Amino acid sequence: MYKLMRLRWNFLPTYLLCQEAFQAPTPFLPKQRTVGIPPNNRQHLSSDAVVGLCLQGHSAVRLTGPMKGRSSASSEDSVEPSRKALVVEDASFLNRPRSDFEHDAQPGPDASSRSNERHNTVTPLPISARRPASFNWKSDTPQPAGDSSNRTPSISTHQPPSLTSTSPDRPPGGKCAEAMRHDAASADGKHDASQQHEYRAALRSPFSVTLMAFMTAVLGITLLYAIVDSSWSRQVEEKGCRMSYMRPSYVRLHEFDTEHTRFATKYSLYLYREQGIDTNNKLRGAPVLFIPGNAGSYKQVRPVAAEAANYFHDALQQDPDTTARGVRPLDFFTVDFNEDITAFHGQTMLDQADYLNEAIRFILALYQDPRMTSRGVDLPEPTSVLILGHSMGGIVARTMLTMPNYQSNSINTIITMSAPHARAPVTFDSQIVSIYNDINSYWRQAYAQKWANDNPLWHVTLVSIAGGGLDTVVPSDYANIESLVPETNGFTVFTTGIPTVWTSMDHQAILWCDQFRKVLTRAIFDVIDARRPSQTKPRAERMRMFKKRFLTGMETSAEKVLSNNEPTTLLTVGDDVLASAAHGEQLVLRDLGGKPELEAHLLRIPSDRLSNGIQFNLLTNNPLDSPGEHGTLEVLFCSPAGHQSLQSPELVHLKLGPSNDRVDAVKLLCKNAAADQILLPASTDFTTQPFVSKTGQGHLPFIFLQYDMEDIAEYLYVAVIDKAVKPTSAFVVADFSSETQAKRIQTVGAGRLAALGLTMTLPGDRPMTAEVQFPNLKSSLVALHLEIHSPACSSKRLLFSPMIRQYLAHPHESRFYVNARRVDLSMHGAAPFLPPPLTPSSANDQGLSLQIWTDPTCESSLEIRLTVDILGSLGKLVIRYRTVFAAFPLLIVSLVLRKQFRVYDSTGVFISFSDSLDSCLKQSLPLVLLSLTLLSLSLRGSETSVTGILWDTWDANAPTTDFHSNDLLTGTRDSFFWFLVPLIGVVCIGVCVAIHLATVALTHILGLLYGYTMARPLWQRQDGRRRASTSAFVPSSPRRRMITTAVLLFLVSTFIPYQFAYLVACLVQLFTTVRALRITNEIGSTASHDFYNYAHSILLLMLWVLPINLPILAVWIRNLAIHWLTPFSSHHNVLSIMPFILLVENLTAGKMVPRLAGRTKHLTSIFLFSTAIYAAIYGISYAYMLHYLVNLVAVWLVVIHSTSDGWSLTGVNSLFDSRESFDAKGSKRP
C-alpha cells in the first residue's frame, strides 16, 4: 500500500488497464477476480475511486505502470517509462517475480496515444531482454542498473505474448458489476481465496513435502533400512579365525635411495626378521616381496613371515629330504607406502608399481653381494621374486608386469589375498578405471596367444584368494580371475573351502588368521626350489601344488596320484578272505580296534565299472596311515601280485589272518591311498561350525576318499586295514554308487523357487554321498534357506550327523555345513558388473550344487526343503550396490532440476525442490524408471553391449568376448532381477528427500547462527531490515573477483587438485543458500523465494557430485600430510572446475538465472535429461563421468547467466579500478 500511495495517475488509462488486468488468467496461480466499472460512470470517477474499486473483492491489488505527471520516481519506475503498463493483480500475486509480470502484463501504450485508450485497447511494444542482476529483495522486480536497450543477448530470452483485448486466453471485456454479482452468488468465495493463499504459503515452506513425495520417501527409507538391517543381521557368517602371534623386527634398507628410484623420499623398503630365529640380517633363502593394500602398512607382513620362519626352523630344517629338494628359508621384504590410498587414485598405483620394479631390481642385486648373503655357493643367484599382495597390492603386482621398467622374468608367482582383480572397487577416478582396462587387456591378450614365445606371461602363475561373505571392504566377487587367466596359469579360491581353514574372514583377518597363514606358508614352501635361478618349480608343478593346498580335492579337475605311485605293500591273505569279500556293496565298520591283531576288510571293485559311471567313496573319522607309518587305519588298492613284483625290497609285507601261512594264501600288490585323502570338517551331534574353535580344541577332521572308476580300473580290491590294538570310536563307511543313484539335477529357477519353493525326497536306500545340482541358481544376489528332515534312527546310534557341502565349480567356492538341519546358503557366482570368463564353462559346471553326506546305516528317507530367503537376499545388495548412491540420486536430482527450469522458463516461477519432485513423481520419474526396467529386460541373453562395441572399435586387438557386457544399469542380464531398477529408484528417492530436508535443516541452523553473529541493537534493526535486500547480495568488485578466481585456478593447475576447489565451491554455495534463506525469511518476496529455490537446487546437485570428488581429495590430503613437497601429479585440469567456480560466483552475487525462450530453453532440459539417463545406465560403472556431465550443465548455466551481462567499456575498466566502492555493474554503492 505504501507503493500505491506514491502512485499518481489519470482516470481513463487507469480504469482501462485495471479492467484488462483482472480479466487476464495467470497459470500456476489462484484465479483472479474481475472488477468492472459501469461505462456511464467512467468519466465521473476520481483516481481514488479507481483505487477503491480495484481494491474490492477478497484481496488487495497492486498497480504499477507509467504515471503521468509524476514528480518523483525511483530508478525502478524511471526506466523506459513509455513501455511500462499499469498492472492490477490480486494481492496473492505480490510475490511473483519480474518474469511473471512480463508474461501477464505487457507494455502499455505510448503516453501520447490517447485515442487507443478511449477504445479500451492496448498496443504493445516489444520488450528487450534485460538482466535480472541485483535483485531488490523487497520488491518483485529486479533493480535495473542502467540502460540495457543496446544489449543483445546471445541466447533468446522469453518473449511474452502481446496483451490485447482480443486475446484468446481471456474473455472479451469484463465489468465490475458482473464481478460483484459473481462474488455475491458465491457465499464462501472469501473462504476459498484464503485457503488458496494458505496453500501457497504452505508450499513455500522449505520443509514442506507433498503427500506423494512423503509416502515415496518413507517407502524408500524403509526399504533402505530393511536392506541395511539384513546385511547386519541375516545371512551373517560366523567368525572362526584364531589369533596369531609373532616377534617381529624390521631392517630398513637405506641403500635403496634416490640413486635407484625417484620415489625413495616417499617410500621405503624393509627386510623382515623374526626375533629368536633370524640371528642376523643376511639373506639365506628365496626372496618374497609383500605388497600392502589400500592404506595398508608394511608391518602387515609379520603374521605370514613369522609363520614361515617358525615352520622352516621347527620342521623343514630338520628334514634332509626337504633341503635336498631345494627348500630354503624365505627372505620376506616389505614396502612402506606410508599407507597410501591406492583404491581411489590411479596415479598412486602407477607410482607404486614403478617403485616396486626398481625394488625388485635392487633385491636381486643384494643376492649378488657376498656381504649380504649367506646362501650356499652351490645355489644360483635368484632371478625372480615371489609376490604376495593384499587387497590393492595384488592389483599393483599385476600392474608391475605392464610397466616400462619391468625386468623380464623377475616375477613368476603372484599370490593375492582379497584383491579386486575383476574390476575397480570404486570408479570415481578416470585414471584407475583406465589402468584396470589396460592391465586386464594386457593379461587377456597375453594368454590369448597361441605360442608360448608370444606370451610374456606364459611362466606366470596367479592365485587369487578371497575371504568370502565377511569381507565387507571389497566384494569377494571381484577377486574372480576367470576373465583374466586360464586354468593352466591360475584360479580363484575362497577361504571357506580351503582344507583346515573352512571359515570366512574379513578384509584384514585374512592377513593374520592363524589357520590360513599356516596353509599359505606351506603352499609357498611347496613351490620353492632354490636350486633353480627362478627360485620356484616349473609352472605346471606350481599349479599342482597350489591346487593341492588350496582346493578341496573334490573338483572335477583334481588330480589323483594313486595310479602314478609305486606299490607300497605286499598283502598276504587267505583265499577264503577273498571269497568273502563284498562285491560292490557297502562296507560299514564301527569301533575300530575290536580285535588285538590286524584285520583286513576287502571290498571287491565291480567289474562293470566303466559302463555305469560308478564312483567309489570312503569316509572315516580316523587319519589314514601313509606308507611306513604305524597308525590305526590304512586303505589300500590291490591287485594280484606278479612274480617280478615280489622281489622289490621296498615293499611292506602284511600277513593277515590265521590262514596267511597256508598254501592257498593269495598275495596282493597294493598301493597306499593316503596321498589322495581329502579333509572334511567333522560332523557330529556336538559340532556347530566346520572350523576348529578359537581355543584350538575340537574334533579331528574327517577323511574322505573319492575315485572315479577310471582312476581305479587296474585294481580288483579295496583293502581297509584295521591296525588298532585297542577299541576306539573310529568308523569307516565305504560304498560304490552309480551316477543315477547319487546325482539329481533340478532345473528350477530363482523366480519359481521364490514363489513356490522346492521340496524333494531322497530314498532310504541312497548312497552315503548324494548330490543335487541347480544349474539355474548361480547369482550372488540370491540367498537361500535349506531345511533337512529325517526320521530319527532308533535302532543304532548314528556314525555321523548330516553334512552339506555347497559349492560352485567356477570359481572354486565351497562352504561346509556340519550337523546340518537348517542352514542359510549364499554364493559368489554370477555377480553384478563382473566380466564373463575367458572360456565359458559347461552346463554341468554352472550353478549351485549341494553335496550331502548322510549315515547309510539309518535307512530312512531324507526330505529337503529349499526356499529363497527374501529378506536375506536384500542384504546382498549392500556390498555390491553401495556405489549406486553416487549415480542414481543424480538421476533424481537432474530430473527435478529439469522440471524446475521448465516451469521457470514457462511461467517465471522457480518452484521449490519439493514441488518439482512431486511433479516428477507424477510424470517423468515413473516413465524413466519404467523405461530403464524395460531396457534391463531387453539385455537378457545379449552377448554385447554398447560399451563393448565402442571399446572394440577403439581397440583393434579386442577379443571376441565382450568383457564390458555387464557394465549397463544394474550390472546383470538375469531377467529375474528386473525389479532392481525400480527398487533402487525408490530407495534413492527416499535418500534424496532425506538429504534435501537435511540440507534445509542445515541451512536453517547456519542461518540462525549467521543471524546471531550479525545481531545489532534494537534501534538499528529496523534500518538494517530495510537495507537487507541491498546488502545481503552485494558482490565484490570485479577486480577482486577476477583475482580470486585467477589465484584459485592457478593453484589448481599447479599444486592442488580440482577436487579441492570443488569442495570450496560447495561450501561457498552452501553459504550462498544460507544468505538467500535469511533474506527470504526477513522479506518474503517472490523474487527471494525464487532465488532461494534456485540456489538450493544447485547446492543439492553439487552435493550429489561431491562424493565422487572426495576420495581424490582424501588422497591429496594424505600425501600432503606425509610429504608435502611431493607434487600431486594428477587432477589439475582447470576446465573441470572453472564452470563450477563461475556458476557459484554468479550465485554469490545474487544473480538469478535468466529465463529462456524459443528453442534454446530446450537445451537446459537436454543437458539435465542426458545427465540423468547416463547416471542411471553407466553411472555405477563409470561414476567419474558424472562430474564431467554436471560440469557441462554448469557451463550451460554460466552461458545463460552471461546473456544478462553486458560487456561495456565501463565493465572492463572496472576490472582494473582499485576503488572497492564499485558494485558488479560498475555503479556506486549507496
pLDDT tens per residue, range 853-896: 999 888 888 999 999 999 999 999 999 999 999 899 999 999 99
Neighbours of 344 (CB within 10 A): 23
Q: Read out DSSP for 738-769?
A: -HHHHEEE----HHHHHHH-EEEEE-TT--SE
- Residues for the chain: how many in total? 1230
Q: Clarify whether residues 861 and 903 are in a common domain.
A: no
- Split into its structural domains, the chain has a count of 5
Q: Clarify whether residues 992 and 1089 are in a common domain.
A: yes
Residue 21's alpha-carbon distances to 17, 67, 163, 331, in angstroms, are 6, 16, 9, 91
Q: Clarify whether residues 535 and 577 are in a common domain.
A: no
* Phi/psi at 540 (5° precision): -65, -40
pLDDT of 109 above 70: no
Distance of alpha carbon 335 from alpha carbon 301, whole angstroms: 9
CATH code of the domain covering residue 768: 2.60.120
Q: What is the pLDDT of residue 738?
A: 86
Residue 691's alpha-carbon distances to 234, 464, 699, 815, 817, in angstroms, are 20, 21, 10, 11, 10
Instruction: Note whether residue 147 is domain-resident.
Output: no
Neighbouring-strand partners of residue 779 = 830
Distance of alpha carbon 532 from alpha carbon 224, whole angstroms: 57
Residue in 566, 573, 565 with CA at minimum distance from that of residue 645: 566
Q: Sheet holding 615-620: strands in order across?
A: 587-589, 732-737, 615-620, 702-708, 678-680
Instruction: Note whether residue 557 is domain-resident.
Output: no
- With a CB cutoff of 8 Å and minimum separation 6, the contacts of 314 are none
| Lowest-pLDDT choice from 155-159, 258-262, 722-726 | 155-159
Residues 619 and 733: beta-carbon distance below 8 Å: yes
Domain's final residue, options 833, 868, 903: 868
Q: Clarify whether residues 726 and 753 are in a common domain.
A: no
Instruction: Note whether residue 640 is domain-resident.
Output: yes
Q: Clarify whether residues 100 and 116 are in a common domain.
A: yes
| Lowest-pLDDT choice from 93-107, 249-263, 633-647, 983-997 | 93-107
Q: What is the pLDDT of residue 1082?
A: 84
- With a CB cutoff of 8 Å and minimum separation 6, the contacts of 1087 are 95, 97, 98, 135, 136, 137, 139, 140, 141, 142, 1152
Handedness of CA 332, 333, 339, 340 (dihedral sign): negative
- Specify the amino acid at residue 595: K
168: preceding bond cis by omega (within 30 degrees): no
Distance of alpha carbon 1200 from alpha carbon 1206, whole angstroms: 12
Residue 52's alpha-carbon distances to 1, 15, 57, 80, 619, in angstroms, are 12, 11, 10, 28, 104
Handedness of CA 733, 739, 742, 743 (dihedral sign): positive
Residue, of 239 and 610, whose pLDDT is higher: 239
Residues 733 and 633: beta-carbon distance below 8 Å: no
Instruction: Note whether residue 832 is domain-resident.
Output: yes
Average pLDDT over residues 1160-1185: 94
Q: Clarify whether residues 361 and 295 are in a common domain.
A: yes
- Percent of residues, the chain, with pLDDT higher than 70: 74
Instruction: Note whether residue 426 is domain-resident.
Output: yes
pLDDT of 1029 above 80: no
Q: Clarify whether residues 730 and 759 are in a common domain.
A: no
Active site members: 391
Q: Clarify whether residues 383 and 254 are in a common domain.
A: yes
Residue in 499, 496, 490 with CA at minimum distance from that of residue 522: 499
Helix (H) or strand (E) holding 634: strand 633-640
Cell numbers 579500478: residue: 1217
Q: Clarify whether residues 461 and 597 are in a common domain.
A: no
- Specify the amino acid at residue 341: I
Instruction: Note whether residue 1226 is domain-resident.
Output: no
Torsion of CA 911, 917, 918, 922, to 10 degrees: 120
Q: What is the pLDDT of residue 165?
A: 34
CATH code of the domain covering residue 407: 3.40.50.1820
Domain's final residue, options 715, 737, 759: 737
Domain's final residue, options 683, 703, 737: 737
Q: Clarify whether residues 273 and 375 are in a common domain.
A: yes
E-state strands within 690-800: 702-708, 717-722, 732-737, 743-745, 758-762, 769-774, 784-789
Distance of alpha carbon 1193 from alpha carbon 1198, whole angstroms: 9
Neighbouring-strand partners of residue 289 = 333, 387
Q: Clarify whether residues 485 and 348 are in a common domain.
A: yes
Torsion of CA 452, 457, 458, 464, to 10 degrees: -150
Instruction: Note whether residue 1044 is domain-resident.
Output: yes
Distance of alpha carbon 493 from alpha carbon 591, whole angstroms: 36
- Specify the amino acid at residue 336: D
Q: What is the pLDDT of residue 574?
A: 78
Q: Clarify whether residues 760 and 707 are in a common domain.
A: no
Q: What is the pLDDT of residue 1025?
A: 52
Which pairing describes strands 286-291 and 386-390: parallel, antiparallel, or unpaired?
parallel
Instruction: Note whether residue 686 is domain-resident.
Output: yes
- With a CB cutoff of 8 Å and minimum separation 6, the contacts of 1019 are none
Distance of alpha carbon 648 from alpha carbon 646, whole angstroms: 6
- Specify the amino acid at residue 114: R
**Residue 1161 corresponds to which cell in the numbers above?**
530453453
Distance of alpha carbon 34 from alpha carbon 56, whole angstroms: 10
| Lowest-pLDDT choice from 301-310, 749-758, 954-963 | 954-963
- pTM confidence score: 0.81
Range of the domain at 1192: 882-1214
